[in-house]
């Protein structure tokens, strides 16, 4: 009998979440939907949505075995699954506009954790999941893809390696700004990340992007 890995479970759960959001927000304008995304939902909502199908098998805020100071978002001990979750949204900046977003260090921490877990033999049992509502004009609005700020913000190419579902719409590849990155809906997933190109070594981390142009929710699973 085939033993299912974490991707098998989470792809199904995430696909169902996308279907639910398509129905729930079918009649919403982009502006109204953006307000819902920023105001109604917080990261904890998504942690519980992802863990809920596991019922009593799921545990939340579980302690890391190596450090009591580190906790993980979701654990399924019966499967030896551990997951980290990030929800992308904007909130009020110092200028009182909804442009604030998570800094890169928050993503880097979870990606580095997953890389180490894969290196130590836990591939197929660990995952990092990023969720966002498809209501932003470009992905750089909710993820710090550049090293600076503003519209003319050059893309950090090392960071871009983690987002193979993005492509540069600028015809000049040397002039790549965060606002130039658009979704590549034609690319086939999952795909293996080329982490060796950014000095991470030969780590077999896969990326599964879920979402179509018309979907209200986009999700990426790293495993």
Q: Are strands 81-88 and 126-133 parallel, antiparallel or unpaired?
A: parallel
Asked if residues 99 and 93 have their Cβ atoms less than 8 Å apart, the reply is yes
What are residue 17's phi and psi, to 5 degrees? Answer: -65, -40
Compare 82 and 147 and report the one with higher pLDDT.
82
Local structure of 189: helix, strand or coil: coil
Burial of 118 (0-12, 13-18, 19+ CB in 10 A): buried
Q: What's the pLDDT tens digit per position in 58-73? A: 999 987 766 655 689 9
> The pTM is what?
0.93
Which residues, at least 6 apart from 121, have a Cβ–Cβ distance to it below 8 Å? none
207-214 average pLDDT score: 98
Structural domain spans, the chain? 6-137+188-222
| Interval 77-99 mean pLDDT | 89
Question: What integer pLDDT is reported at residue 74 of this predicted model?
Answer: 98
On the question of pLDDT at 12 being above 80, the answer is yes
Is residue 98 very low, low, confident or very high in pLDDT (cuts 50, 70, 90)?
confident
Greater pLDDT, 68 or 177:
177
Q: Give mean pLDDT, residues 121-127.
A: 97
Residue 63 dihedral angles phi and psi, to the nearest 5°: -80, 140
- Model confidence at 175, pLDDT cuts 50, 70, 90, reads confident
């Amino acid at each position: 009998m085939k033993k299912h890995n974490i991707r098998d479970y989470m792809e199904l759960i995430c696909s169902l979440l996308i279907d639910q959001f398509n129905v729930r927000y079918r009649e919403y304008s982009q502006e109204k939907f953006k307000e819902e995304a920023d105001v109604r939902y917080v990261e904890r909502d998504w942690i519980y949505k992802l863990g809920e199908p596991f019922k009593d098998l799921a545990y939340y805020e579980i302690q890391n075995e190596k450090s009591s100071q580190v906790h993980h978002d979701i654990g399924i001990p019966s499967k030896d699954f551990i997951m980290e979750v990030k929800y992308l949204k904007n909130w009020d900046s110092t200028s009182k506009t909804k442009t604030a977003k998570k800094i890169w260090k928050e993503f880097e921490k979870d990606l580095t954790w997953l890389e180490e877990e894969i290196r130590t033999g836990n591939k197929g049992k660990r995952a990092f999941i990023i969720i966002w509502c498809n209501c932003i004009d470009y992905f750089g609005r909710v993820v710090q893809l550049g090293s600076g700020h503003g519209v003319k913000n050059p893309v950090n190419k090392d960071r871009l390696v983690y987002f193979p579902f993005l492509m540069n719409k600028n015809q000049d590849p040397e002039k790549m700004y965060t606002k130039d990155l658009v979704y590549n809906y034609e690319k086939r997933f999952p795909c293996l990340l080329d982490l060796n190109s950014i000095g991470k070594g030969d780590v077999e981390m896969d990326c599964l992007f879920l979402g179509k142009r018309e979907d209200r929710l986009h999700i990426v699973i790293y495993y």
